Amino acid sequence: MSRNDGLFAATYTPFTSDDQLNLPVISPFTEHLIATGVNGLFVCGSTGEGMSLTVEERCQTAAAFIAAAAERIPTIVHVGHNCLSDAAALSRHAAEQGATAVAACSPSYHRPATLADLVEAMADLASETPQLPFYYYHIPSMTGVDFRMIDFLKQAANRIPNLQGLKYTAPTLDDFQQCLAFDNGRFHMMWGVDEMLMSAWAAGATAAVGSTYNIAAPIYRQLIDDFKAGNLIRARERQNQAIAMVRTVQQVAFHPGMKAVLRSLGVDCGACRPPQPQLSTEDGTALLAELKDLGFYQWVNQEAPS
């Protein structure tokens, strides 16, 4: 199975003002991502509010992003669900639509009690689409499932034939680095903490999935280029820019704030679904002004809102 490296945007799902899917936005959104240097899409994950969508909405969203990408860049579809039968249906649908790969996080209501239980659940799910590469999505802050991933790989390596690797969204770089080295680098490890991208690259990462790549891919692309060129001082500067940007958005509700920034760049994905809060007009305006003062719009080569 081929590997796709670089920056994968964890895409936002666009909604109308009355909280319905706004599918026509997906094509121009995808064009924005490609134009700003994103190398791939990760659809219906945490950023995309996959767990706040119905199964039918997830199918429609995945199909729209796959069609918009039109095989120019790879599309990984997240199919994780508390109901594994629904996860299987989502996986089959993704395969039918032409997804590059699928990914799944652990069920989080009735969580697997042991690592063996998790491996078996993921093996059953991955077997639904044996022709597609499968990624396990490790995000313990959301699922509460926090086994060491090096142990997961050791158990899953010969149990899940189409296991491609992991989407690793946790700050435990030591475990991540062990996973990178396991079995002579057998598995594709996708880093998921944007504020630590440089550290992940130093550990040996070559791929990452993140929400802030929707708005700031140029910062991270330059960081990677500087790192590869051995210009560590400049790479650190880029990482510090990214951290400052993230911390600024975190002063308001993060994903509603991110959607406000994305709107200022010409892509209106609407608001987030409850229970995520709505961002007031005042808070949104203040956020954009603070980012402008920070220098964010210059960093990403975009015109600041007036």
To the query of whether residue 167 is one of the catalytic residues in this protein, the response is: yes
| Predicted pLDDT at 305 | 87
Q: What are the pLDDT digits (tens) for 76-111? A: 999 999 999 999 999 999 999 999 999 999 999 999
pLDDT band at 156 (very low <50, low <70, confident <90, very high): very high
DSSP-derived secondary structure for 131-189: TS-EEEEE-HHHH-----HHHHHHHHTTT-TTEEEEEE-SS-HHHHHHHHHHHHH-SEE
Q: Is residue 2's pLDDT more than 80?
A: no
Return the DSSP state at 37: T
To the query of whether residue 259 is one of the catalytic residues in this protein, the response is: no
Q: Residues of the chain with pLDDT > 70: what percent?
A: 99
CA distance 282 to 160: 49
Residue whose C-alpha is closest to residue 185's, from 221, 153, 217, 223: 153
Q: Residues of the chain with pLDDT > 90: what percent?
A: 97
| Predicted pLDDT at 1 | 52
Q: What are the pLDDT digits (tens) for 106-126? A: 999 999 999 999 999 999 999
Mean pLDDT, the chain, integer: 98
**Cβ distance 184 to 203 under 8 Å?**
no
Q: What are the pLDDT digits (tens) for 246-302? A: 999 999 999 999 999 999 999 999 999 999 999 999 999 999 999 999 999 999 999
Q: Which of 136, 137, 168, 220 is catalytic?
A: 137
Residue whose C-alpha is closest to residue 300's, from 242, 227, 240, 226: 242
Taking CA 297 as the corner, what is the angle to CA 295 and CA 298, rounded to the nearest 5 degrees? 65
| Predicted pLDDT at 145 | 98
CA distance 106 to 46: 13
Within 10 A of 156 (CB to CB), how many other CB atoms are there?
22
Q: What are the pLDDT digits (tens) for 224-260? A: 999 999 999 999 999 999 999 999 999 999 999 999 9
Residue whose C-alpha is closest to residue 39's, from 143, 190, 153, 230: 190
DSSP-derived pairing of the beta strands 6-10 and 134-138: unpaired
* Domain 6-216: homologous superfamily in CATH: Aldolase class I (3.20.20.70)
From residue 296, alpha-carbon distances to 109, 132, 197, 247, 300 in Å are 39, 38, 18, 12, 6
From residue 72, alpha-carbon distances to 29, 41, 203, 233 in Å are 14, 11, 29, 33
Q: Which of 12, 135, 136, 167 is catalytic?
A: 167
What is the number of H-type helices and E-type strands within the chain? 13, 8
| Predicted pLDDT at 3 | 79
**Cβ distance 193 to 239 under 8 Å?**
no
pLDDT band at 306 (very low <50, low <70, confident <90, very high): confident
| Phi/psi-derived region of residue 298, left when phi > 0, alpha when psi is between -120 and 50, beta in every other case | alpha
Q: Is residue 65's pLDDT more than 90?
A: yes
* pTM, full prediction: 0.97
**Cβ distance 171 to 196 under 8 Å?**
yes
**Cβ distance 228 to 47 under 8 Å?**
no
| Predicted pLDDT at 32 | 98
CA distance 240 to 296: 12
Q: What are the pLDDT digits (tens) for 178-191? A: 999 999 999 999 99
Q: Where are the domains of the chain?
A: 6-216
**Cβ distance 155 to 116 under 8 Å?**
yes
Task: Output the CA torsion sign for 5, 8, 174, 147.
Answer: negative
Average pLDDT on 55-75 reads 98
